[in-house]
Amino acid sequence: MKIKKRTFFFIFLFMVIIGLLAFRIVNRLNERQQEEVQKSQIKEEIIIPVRTALVEKGEVNSFLKVTGVVEANETVRVTSEIMGQVKEVKVKDGEEVNKGDILIALGDEQIKIQVAQAQATLDSIQASSDKIKSGARPQEIKQAESALLQAKMNRDSVEENYLRMEKLFSQKAISEQQYEQAKNQYKMADVQYQSAQESYGLVIEGAGEQDIKSVEAQVRQAKAALDMAKYQLSNAKIIAPIGGRVTSIAVSSGEMVAPSLPLLSIIDVSRIFVKVGISEKDISKIKEGQTVHLEIDAFPEEKFRGEVVSKGVAVDQISKTLEVKIEILQPDTDIPVGVFARGDILVKTNQNALIIPSSALSRKKDGGIYVYVIEEGIARQKEVVLGIIQDERVEILDGLSEEEEIVVLGNQELKDGLKVDVLDKEE
């Protein structure tokens, strides 16, 4: 009897425990269900404040950014054709000059003497030639003897002076210009002596056909010597090869100059350019005539307009860029050569593009781009394909239609399907 009561007690206790557990489980499930219902209700009640804009059609431009340095239309380094001493520098740094203006005058006194001597030699040889061709008279023979003697005495005197000057020059006691002057005088005196010898011989022997040809050759040689002397004289005045602005003057009065030594430069700024390098991947985008928006560091408050005027034909093998020249059109400012410039080359324009503000864009973890479109007060996520990006405006190639309303502010707080409260719509 006691065994039955104990068994009944344990069974009853077990049933009570099972009942309590079942009650707690059911109660917990009810609580969770209520929590889910509450969460669902809260979710449905969330309204995100946003600002929106409409997808619109308009023009969008694609630019290629470049950098370069301002250059002149032309830069010429001016040099002397002859050796000489600077008599006067007739221009100042920064001065405007025209083509043909005298820039520097060299001392020309000795050159004028050489011209006169060359002219006298030519006159003498020409006279001898005329006499040879017409035949000699007794008095002409005496004159030829006298001329020969005079030419020899002159040659000997000049030779003595030349040898003395040569020795002084080797001792660096005189200038190269003085030495060259003595040397040229000796050469000219020797030519005159040889000419006098030949003239005398022709007078004595009479003129044959060969003699006539010889004296004619002497006449030509004397004319060439005169032309050379006149050329030297003309080069004593150094003139401007182009019009422009003088810069980099490197000489002053009294200094000696030599051929090919840079004396000054002239820059032609009637047109100015920006020379830039275009990478290989962008070469196909560049065409002559394209518009360029320019900024110059030296003039931060000003904007300049340019145009692509030339495109190189070979890529630089070191920088792997192609040289492109941009002309700055009608600048109001006096832009100095050598300053740094930045440019945006207009490479493409789409006239009827779908455009949205860049602030509307969001990016997925996988890299996809999307926006939120408002449909009856609900935010709907839509993937889009981008085209040209210009500043804060973006071209949409696919995914949106004109006049659709998109979120441009507050989209970072949105999720697909949430309600929104449009606070403002951008026009």
Q: Is the pTM of this model over 0.75?
A: no
Domain match, 243 and 222 both: no
Give the tens place of pLDDT for each residue, 99-122. Answer: 999 999 998 888 888 888 889 888
Domain match, 280 and 205 both: no
CATH number at residue 248: 2.40.50.100
Q: Is residue 35 part of a domain?
A: no
Domain match, 125 and 228 both: yes
pLDDT category at 61 given cuts 50, 70, 90 is: very high
Domain match, 190 and 288 both: no
Extract the tokens encoding 266: 């002239």
* Arithmetic mean of pLDDT, 66-94: 91
CATH number at residue 320: 2.40.30.170
Domain match, 99 and 141 both: no
Domain match, 102 and 249 both: yes
Give the tens place of pLDDT for each residue, 376-424. Answer: 899 999 999 999 998 899 999 999 999 999 999 988 888 999 999 888 7
Coil, strand or helix at 289: coil
Domain match, 333 and 369 both: no
> Residue 146 pLDDT more than 50?
yes
Q: Is residue 92 part of a domain?
A: yes
Handedness of CA 174, 180, 184, 190 (dihedral sign): positive
Distance CA 327, CA 305 (A): 9
Residues near 409 by beta carbon (within 8 Å), at least 6 away in sequence:
50, 51, 359
Coil, strand or helix at 330: coil
| Boundary (domain end) residue, out of 348, 379, 407 | 348
Distance CA 141, CA 145 (A): 6
> Residue 174 pLDDT more than 50?
yes
Contact between 407 and 52 (Cβ < 8 Å): yes
Handedness of CA 106, 109, 110, 113 (dihedral sign): positive
What is the separation of C-alpha 174 from the centre of its chain, rounded to a whole number of angstroms? 47
Domain match, 258 and 306 both: no
Domain match, 246 and 307 both: no
Domain match, 287 and 336 both: yes
State which amino acid sits at residue 152.
Answer: K
Distance CA 20, CA 389 (A): 67
Extract the tokens encoding 146: 């006298």
The pLDDT value given to residue 42: 46
CATH number at residue 413: 2.40.420.20
Q: Is residue 7 part of a domain?
A: no
Domain match, 113 and 87 both: no
Task: Please tell me the total count of domains within the chain.
Answer: 4
Range of the domain at 332: 270-348
